Amino acid sequence: MLSCSSLTVTYGQRKALDGFDLSLQPGEVRALIGPNGSGKSTALQAIAGLTKPTKGSITINGKSIAKLSRRQIAKELAFLPQQPVAPDEISVIELVRQGRFAHVGLLGRYTSRDEDAIHWALENTGLSDFATRPLRELSGGERQRAWIAAALAQEAEILLLDEPTTYLDIGFQVEVIDLVYRLSREKNVAVVMSIHDLNQAMAICDRISLLKHGQLMFDGEPNDLAQSDLIEEVFRVKGHFVPITPYAPPHFDVELARRGTVITTELRSC
């Protein structure tokens, strides 16, 4: 579905991303983790076609992203940056309607299919009852769900999220993470998200990519990462993983709960 090969992004003399590889399957949830400045956001921006790589290639469903127009890319993938901006007066449904621009164009008319996609996105993010509310009246978690709904309205098979739980309290974080997991399992949406919370990454992600100074240090399943020393090496924090059966929101399945792994960290530097 999505493939990045030897992806390199350079800013001046600095390599923000150096030989990054990624292969994404339908319905897969992939976490990008690493310290600040490790290249997570750069990788997402390059995949979204917003940053031109110095070297390497990106293909979506076998098509080179370099040969696709912005509108064609938007039909294939949706990208939600860290701090999306919209007027506080805009309503939820007006924001979500913007997700259809790739299909209708600036001067196009919304068809019944467009309206169906908009209402499907609202329903699947639990925002149908909030459709006419302005963004200023929403909580942090509701606002983040509104932005995800706008991305879903694109009907893209790939969803890129840059730190979707940042600035949210733990309740809203669980709300957003649960939504991401449901989209992958119920709608077969493939997700790549940068995230700082290792517990959340371990809980819902099928695979994890660990970055340090733009280089890929690990690419594999959460349990394999837990059995390595890479968290200590990269984050310089002494810690240990404790396999448990964690609390899970209603939509989490038994298999996920059995797989759950929580990281606890001792507060001392290495």
pTM: 0.85
Could you tell me which of 75, 57, 74 has the C-alpha nearest to residue 66?
57
Q: In angstroms, what CA-CA distances link 96 with 86, 190, 196, 202, 263?
A: 11, 20, 27, 30, 36
Which residue would you say has higher pLDDT here, 261 or 243? 243
pLDDT at 245: 57
Which residue would you say has higher pLDDT here, 216 or 240? 216
- What are the pLDDT digits (tens) for 101-120? 888 866 678 899 999 999 99
Q: How confident is the model at residue 130 (pLDDT cuts 50, 70, 90)?
A: very high
Domains and CATH numbers, the chain: 2-269 (3.40.50.300)
pLDDT at 264 exceeding the cut of 80: no
pLDDT at 140: 84
Could you tell me which of 196, 88, 188, 105 has the C-alpha nearest to residue 143?
88
pLDDT at 25: 95
